[in-house]
Amino acid sequence: MLLAFFFLAACATGTDACTERLPLGPEGRFHLLYRSHPLTERNESLTNALIVIHGASRNADNYFPSGIAGSFLAGKLDTTLVVAPRFPVPQDKLAPGEIAFQPRGDDWRGGGPAVDLPTVSAFDVVDKLLAHFANKQLYPNMKKIVVFGHSAGGQFVNRYVAVSRYDATLPITFVVSNPSSYLYFDASRPAPNAACNGFNDWKYGLEGKPNSAGFAANAVRRPVVYLLGEYDVTPQFSFDASCSAMTQGPNRFQRGVNYLGYINGKYTAKHTLVKVPNCGHNGRCMLVADEARAVLFP
């Protein structure tokens, strides 16, 4: 029994001990991630998976233990596989073979390509994880997956929902939390935009993005929850104050409310909103809040 306990115990710290290399692209290349249980071992105890996408600081080592804390508070630590990928840029400390992504422009938060591997995108990481979690040989009792992103990670998830063509074999819920901007599928915005050149450029809109014809349909058909901190109303923590972002609303909270009204009202999506009354722009607060548990740990 003691040996079984140690085999099943979750790895819970943002340290090297909880990292694993996800093979991606050509042989020898990989994506680094933190995980609560090894990805190569069969585990019959796991029924849920939570993918946690970090913010602009690329601090997956901080977001990972916050996801662990949330699963513990929800009473789901032993049954939830928590995974936090890291999307580094070239100036970060990289191991030999580790994949880095563009720091600006078509960057990782829009699913941009790897720096030296143009056929590998940031969205490929999540595609591969979703396919991995559906492997019944490794996870025979896996039932539900949640993809959560906060701040810049929220931007990532919002755009992934539209861009990815991955066909899920397990129920997946996408949770978009406190991003600075959203992907709109046409030129309508809640605030005036006539004087703002580029307000509809990719990643705010679809202009300049090839093969985007199916993006709106992808987003509409997928289950999405907007998890918004009611105190996230100040221009802090890499807040996007460009005119392109300001056409979406004055602050992160209002931008989320506006976007929900837009995609449900104009595109007849059935996305939902969960407000977190005591959280501002803080990923840990969002992951451990009482209001988030039913969404993140179903």
Evaluate whether residue 49 is within a structural domain: yes
Evaluate whether residue 6 is within a structural domain: no
* Of the candidates 65, 76, 105, the residue with the CA atom closest to the CA atom of residue 198: 105
For position 261, what pLDDT does the model report?
98
Evaluate whether residue 275 is within a structural domain: yes
CATH of the domain at 262: 3.40.50.1820
The CA distance from 240 to 282, in Å, is: 16
* Of the candidates 117, 242, 151, 243, the residue with the CA atom closest to the CA atom of residue 192: 243
Contact 297, 78 (CB under 8 A): no
Q: What are phi and psi of 89, to 5 degrees?
A: -115, 170
The CA distance from 65 to 34, in Å, is: 9
Evaluate whether residue 137 is within a structural domain: yes
For position 103, what pLDDT does the model report?
87
Q: Which two tokens stand for residue 246?
A: 């300001």
What range defines the domain where residue 166 resides? 21-296
Evaluate whether residue 178 is within a structural domain: yes
Interacting residues of 217 by C-beta distance below 8 A, sequence separation 6+: none
Domains of the chain: total? 1
Which secondary structure element, helix H or strand E, spans residue 20, and what is its range? strand 19-23
Evaluate whether residue 2 is within a structural domain: no
Evaluate whether residue 4 is within a structural domain: no
One digit per residue, pLDDT tens: the chain, 298 residues? 333 333 458 999 999 999 999 999 999 999 999 999 999 999 999 999 999 999 999 999 999 999 999 999 999 999 999 999 999 999 999 999 999 998 888 999 999 999 999 999 999 999 999 999 999 999 999 999 999 999 999 999 999 999 998 888 899 999 999 999 999 999 999 998 878 999 999 999 999 999 999 999 999 999 999 999 999 999 999 999 999 999 999 999 999 999 999 999 999 999 999 999 999 999 999 999 999 999 999 9
Contact 286, 177 (CB under 8 A): yes
Evaluate whether residue 14 is within a structural domain: no
